[in-house]
Amino acid sequence: MVAVIIVTGAAVRLTGSGLGCSSWPNCSPGQLTPRDATSYHAMIEFINRTFTGAVSIAVIAAVLGSFFRSPRRRDLIWLSLGLVGGVIAQIVLGGITVLTDLHPAAVMSHFLLSMLLLADAVILVERAGYPDDRRSYKPELKWERRLPLLQFIFVSVVVVAGTVATNSGPHAGDRSARRFNIVLTDIVRIHSIAAIILLITLAGILFLSSKTGVSSRRRRDRTLLLSAVVIQMTIGYVQYFTGVPALLVSLHIVGAVLVFIASLRFLIRTNRQMPMIAMSAENRVQGNEFVSNFRGTGSVL
């Protein structure tokens, strides 16, 4: 749901509907909804605001689920409350964005706060799947502990640089909206360099994975992440050299959301928390097999 509202927010910007509703929280002074159903820009902006209500309902459900689950877990409660704080901050920041006539700093902050909300939601979902009786698993190899964090840092840099580029280019939400006073080619170059470093990092991780006995499932997940980054970079270069058409920019934003989710899940699962009960059961099975072999052969070999 959080990912969907990021995409609908991008649609508002790409269609030039950022000021489709001239007021906040009403669409226009004294009017909650658009005055005319045929008002294209107003309807797009209003639909995006409506999605915020749907996200709020999902957040309420997450909070109630974390409080009423048994046993209650503090980590899930704090993560769900983080979503509440994030949604409230988004509503306020959304109002500031409209009231400042789409100031680029406000628009950029609005998007990046959405990405933080998305990160909170992904972590909540991942940790909700952990067993209650658990312990952390830390990879023994140094590269397997450090490189996943490094790739996520580069993904974050790419996202931030891409957001600055968007707010310096033609798709700032409205034709009259201000842009950052930054040369577009300069910030795009930074965006591109960060993406290339990310690609090299992921290729290195995949190479090391193939040499150190990492499971086929984990190698497949990392291959998919690398492939997604390659596709995302291809879309980025094509959109840049074709004059940044709105359709390709929208695909690029969808790709950014998917890559961000995959990158964060990769980082989280590197330090996965394993069930102690399951491990103990496995040890019991191994012990039973040992005893059976000893009784049958009189030898442990």
- CA–CA separation, 25 vs 236, rounded Å? 34
> Strand, coil or helix: what is 134?
strand
pLDDT band at 261 (very low <50, low <70, confident <90, very high): very high
Q: Is 169 a residue whose pLDDT tops 90?
A: no
Query: What is the pLDDT, as a whole number, of residue 200?
Result: 93
Q: pLDDT of 15-38, one tens digit each?
A: 877 777 777 777 777 777 777 665
For residues 125 and 167, state if they share a domain: no
Same domain, 118 and 148: no
Segment 117-132 shows an average pLDDT of 88
Do 112 and 160 fall within a single domain?
A: no
Instruction: Kindly indicate the confidence band of residue 235, based on its pLDDT and cuts at 50, 70 and 90.
Output: very high
Number of domains in the chain: 2
Same domain assignment for residues 159 and 250: yes
Tell me the residue range of the domain where 210 lies: 137-275
- One-letter identity of residue 163: T
With respect to residue 284, please indicate whether it lies within any of the assigned structural domains. no
Task: Name the residue among 192, 190, 166 with its Cα closest to residue 246.
Answer: 166
Token output for 9: 């927010």
Say what the alpha-carbon torsion angle 173, 175, 179, 181 is, to the nearest 10 degrees: 160
Considering the domain architecture, whether residues 152 and 260 belong to the same structural domain is answered as: yes
Check residue 134 and give its pLDDT: 60
Q: What percent of the chain has pLDDT over 70?
A: 84
Give the pLDDT band of residue 237 (cuts 50, 70, 90).
very high
Q: Which band of pLDDT confidence, cut at 50, 70 and 90, is reported for residue 271?
A: low
Q: Are 246 and 15 in contact (CB under 8 A)?
A: yes
pTM listed for this prediction: 0.81
Q: How far does Cα 213 stand from its chain's mean position?
A: 29
Task: Show Cβ contacts of residue 114 under 8 Å, excluding neighbours closer than 6 positions.
Answer: 2, 5, 6, 9, 90
Name residue 193's amino acid. Answer: I
| 240-253: pLDDT as tens digits | 899 888 889 889 99
